[in-house]
Amino acid sequence: MTETPSKYECFLCLQLFELGSGVYAGKPVSRWGGIMVCNGCRGSNCDGIVPSAQPHLVEHLQSKGIPYKLNENGWIEWP
């Protein structure tokens, strides 16, 4: 019997992606409180996340007291 992959919402783009049973279309970012991020967002933001494009990420990190680092472009670096 094959398990059906679970669906998760990407914290950044809010789209659903599947995870499990051989399908790995995203993963949790444990150092950011376990938020789930799809592979599309991870790949398209590999150089960093523009804070003004993802203000809810900044709010989440600040509300949880999670430190983050900005790169030379002022973008949030992935942990």
Per-residue model confidence (pLDDT) at position 21: 85
The Cα angle at residue 5 between residues 17 and 21, in degrees rounded to 5: 120
Per-residue model confidence (pLDDT) at position 1: 55
In this predicted model, what pLDDT tens digit does every residue of 49-59 receive, in sequence order?
Answer: 999 999 999 99
In this predicted model, what pLDDT tens digit does every residue of 19-75 receive, in sequence order?
Answer: 988 899 999 999 999 999 999 999 999 999 999 999 999 999 999 999 999 999 999
Q: Is 41 exposed, middle or buried (0-12, 13-18, 19+ CB in 10 A)?
A: buried
Whole-prediction pTM = 0.89
Domain coordinates of the chain in residue numbers? 6-64
